[in-house]
């Protein structure tokens, strides 16, 4: 690539250039009082339409993505995002609908949302589903806030603790704290299940609930889930289900049947809405009977006079309240609806079956190629863990090294260093949409890296070699913080001197 590719859009700017075809005609100056007016132009780019299109098209080409590479990022479910989901969510009628349009002009949208709620209830076994949370982490917040509202409504206010396994996602303890709880961690046993004795010792009158992922973040199904549910319920606590791994069990087993009281789903994982470079997600939440009164608003219900409407505060006085200014990430929800309708009931089951088949096959092939599985005696679910503990000790080959070298082979890296309890781990999730040939190619690349580590560690340690950049000095970047472009450095003084550089 030529060096000009590194230029920022601001460095392509030329005073006097613009994409005026995009602007409305000029209007008379406003009568805004002088003391409230802006004195100098903000300093947005001055570029032609072609400049902008070319710049961002070139930038896009510097990304790995599902559409261009195998992306086995564990816990993230990077499956193919069907294009129809996008184009149908972007039909003009959906794009132009204002969130406060009257119910008379919203029946197409509301019916679609109602049916999505119904389908999600069916696959999870929950009593009702809220589409309001805008991301998985907000779904978690919603769930734990409902647990708190439930205890508070019963006058049961001494419950101060949320139990979280040590393998949990970082969002779990962070969420519990945001809801005003203390966090108690419990260990995982050597087979990957929750340590039941530790759980029994941890529960008590102070227990508000437990947050669990099943299959767990170590890639195995929590076999004693019914026993766990009984222990927590007997202590008066509720069970929260983190739906990060729902892809593994779709149509096979439902969180509602496992005894969970509240769950969140990541529609951008299981139901294939795009990850978009880090959002927007959607963290729909399902509840059991006892949490129904506390569900967030708005929520689509059947209207008394036929059709559908949003339930508001007056319909649900005990609601934990609103999570967004409007009704959640509606455009994401439309994509999930299209995906679920295209799959249908038989397609739901295929998701878990083929994601599980792919993971077990890939685990077996990697083991045969010389890699150690963290839990070799267990079935893989839709994902599994490879540990490089042995190779790191023998020759200094770390999970991070393998991740970087894989990029040179044209594969996005698996998740590294999560969960934290397995040393030098790679969490691998192939998903159901990848073919056997792709998996075989990945195994070949992994075997190649392992062989390379025996005679040419330097090449691995300095990887990647084929991408726009080599490894970064992240420590230096955090010290000499530069998060906003500063034109003074580049000799362009057309833009105002805001921003920082240190």
Partner 1 sequence: MPFIPHTEEDIRAMLDRIGAESVEDLFDEIPADLRSPPLTGIPEGENEMGITRLMQERAAKDGMPSNFIGAGAYEHHIPAAVWQIATRGEFYSAYTPYQAEASQGTLQLIYEYQTMISRLTGMEVSNASLYDGASALAEAVLMAVRVNRRSKAKRVLLPGALHPDYRKVVRTLIGNQGIELVELPFDETTGQTPVDALAPYADEDVTAMVISQPNFFGILEDVDALTGWAEERGIPVIAVVNPVSLALLKPPGEWGTNGVDIVVGEGQPLGAPLSSGGPYFGFMTTLKKHIRQMPGRIVGRAEDADGKPGFVLTLQAREQHIRRSKATSNICTNQGLVVTAATIHMSMLGDEGLTRVAEACYANTHALVEKLAAKGIKPRFTGEYFHEVALDFGGNAASRVQTMADAGVLAGFELGRDYAQLDGCVLACATETKTESDLEQYVTTWEQAA
Between 197 and 257, CB nearer to partner 1 = 257
The 3-state DSSP class for residue 461 equals helix
How buried is 469 (Cβ within 10 angstroms: 0-12 exposed, 13-18 middle, 19+ buried)? exposed
Question: Per-residue x/- marks for partner 1, 67-86, CB under 8 A?
Answer: xxx-x-x--x-xxxxx-x-x
Between 280 and 423, CB nearer to partner 1 = 280
> With binding defined as CB under 8 A, does residue 375 bind partner 1?
no
Residues 174-180: contacts with CB under 8 Å, at least 24 apart: 174/137, 175/137, 175/140, 175/141, 175/144, 175/211, 176/144, 176/211, 178/141, 178/144, 179/141, 179/144, 179/145, 179/147, 179/148, 180/148
> With binding defined as CB under 8 A, does residue 126 bind partner 1?
no
* List 236, 243, 281, 430, residue binding partner 1 (CB under 8 A): 281
> With binding defined as CB under 8 A, does residue 356 bind partner 1?
yes
Question: Per-residue x/- marks for partner 1, 400-439, CB under 8 A?
Answer: ---xx--x----xx----x-------------xxxxx---
> With binding defined as CB under 8 A, does residue 444 bind partner 1?
no
**Count of positions on this chain that bind partner 1 (CB under 8 A):** 201
> With binding defined as CB under 8 A, does residue 377 bind partner 1?
no
Between 171 and 391, CB nearer to partner 1 = 171
The DSSP annotation for 134-172 comes to SSHHHHHHHHHHHHHHHHHHTT-TT--EEEEETTS-THH
User: Residue 137 and residue 133: Cα distance in Å, rounded?
Assistant: 8
* Minimum distance, C-beta of residue 90 to partner 1, in the bound complex (Å): 7
Between 390 and 486, CB nearer to partner 1 = 486
> With binding defined as CB under 8 A, does residue 8 bind partner 1?
yes
The DSSP annotation for 345-397 comes to HHHHHHHHHHHHHHHHHHHHHHHHTTPEESSTTSPP-S-EEEE-HHHHHHH--
* Minimum distance, C-beta of residue 308 to partner 1, in the bound complex (Å): 12
Of residues 210-249, those binding partner 1 (CB under 8 A):
220-221, 223, 225-226, 249
> With binding defined as CB under 8 A, does residue 196 bind partner 1?
no
* Cis ω before 239 (30° cut-off from 0): no
Of residues 313-332, those binding partner 1 (CB under 8 A):
320-332
> With binding defined as CB under 8 A, does residue 310 bind partner 1?
no
Of residues 250-269, those binding partner 1 (CB under 8 A):
251-254, 257-258
């Amino acid at each position: 690539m030529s060096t000009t590719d590194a230029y920022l859009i601001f460095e392509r700017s030329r005073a006097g250039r613009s994409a005026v075809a995009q602007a409305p005609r000029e209007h008379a100056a406003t009568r805004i009082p002088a003391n409230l007016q802006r004195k100098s132009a903000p300093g947005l780019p001055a570029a032609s339409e072609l400049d902008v299109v070319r710049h961002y098209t070139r930038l896009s080409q510097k990304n790995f993505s599902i559409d261009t590479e195998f992306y086995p990022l564990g816990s993230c479910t990077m499956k193919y995002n069907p294009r129809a989901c996008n184009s149908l969510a972007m039909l003009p009628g959906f794009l132009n609908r204002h969130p406060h349009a009257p119910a008379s002009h919203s029946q197409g949208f509301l019916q679609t949302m109602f049916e999505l709620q119904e389908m999600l209830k069916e696959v999870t076994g929950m009593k009702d589903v809220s589409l309001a949370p805008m991301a998985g982490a907000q779904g978690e917040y919603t769930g734990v806030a409902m647990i708190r509202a439930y205890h508070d409504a019963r006058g049961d206010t001494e419950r101060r603790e949320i139990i979280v396994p040590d393998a949990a996602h970082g969002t779990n303890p962070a969420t519990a704290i945001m809801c005003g709880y203390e966090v108690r961690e419990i260990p995982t046993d050597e087979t990957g299940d929750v340590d039941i004795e530790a759980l029994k010792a941890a529960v008590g009158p102070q227990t508000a609930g437990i947050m669990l992922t099943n299959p767990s973040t170590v890639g195995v199904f929590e076999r004693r889930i019914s026993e766990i549910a009984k222990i927590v319920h007997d202590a008066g606590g509720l069970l929260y289900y983190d739906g990060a791994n729902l892809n593994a069990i779709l149509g096979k087993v439902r969180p509602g049947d496992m005894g969970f009281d509240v769950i969140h789903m990541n529609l951008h994982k299981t139901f294939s809405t795009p990850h978009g470079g880090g959002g927007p997600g959607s963290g729909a939440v399902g509840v059991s009977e006892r949490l129904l009164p506390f569900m967030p608003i708005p929520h689509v219900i059947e209207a008394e006079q036929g059709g559908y409407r949003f339930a508001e505060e007056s319909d649900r006085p005990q609601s934990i309240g609103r999570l967004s200014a409007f009704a959640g990430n509606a455009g994401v929800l439309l994509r999930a609806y299209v995906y679920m309708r295209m799959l249908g009931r038989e397609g739901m089951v295929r998701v878990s079956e083929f994601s599980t088949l792919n993971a077990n096959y890939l685990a077996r092939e990697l083991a045969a190629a010389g890699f150690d599985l963290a839990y070799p005696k267990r079935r893989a679910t839709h994902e599994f863990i490879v540990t490089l503990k042995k190779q790191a000790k023998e020759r200094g080959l770390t999970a991070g090294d393998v991740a970087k070298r894989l990029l040179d082979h044209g594969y996005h890296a698996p998740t590294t260093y999560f969960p934290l309890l397995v040393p030098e781990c790679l969490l691998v999730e192939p998903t159901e949409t990848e073919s056997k040939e792709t998996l075989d190619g990945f195994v070949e690349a992994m075997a190649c890296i392992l062989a390379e580590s025996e005679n040419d560690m330097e090449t691995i340690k300095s990887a990647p070699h084929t991408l726009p950049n080599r490894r970064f000095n992240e420590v230096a970047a955090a010290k000499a913080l530069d998060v906003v472009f500063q034109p003074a450095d580049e000799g362009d003084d057309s833009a105002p001197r805001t921003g920082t550089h240190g």
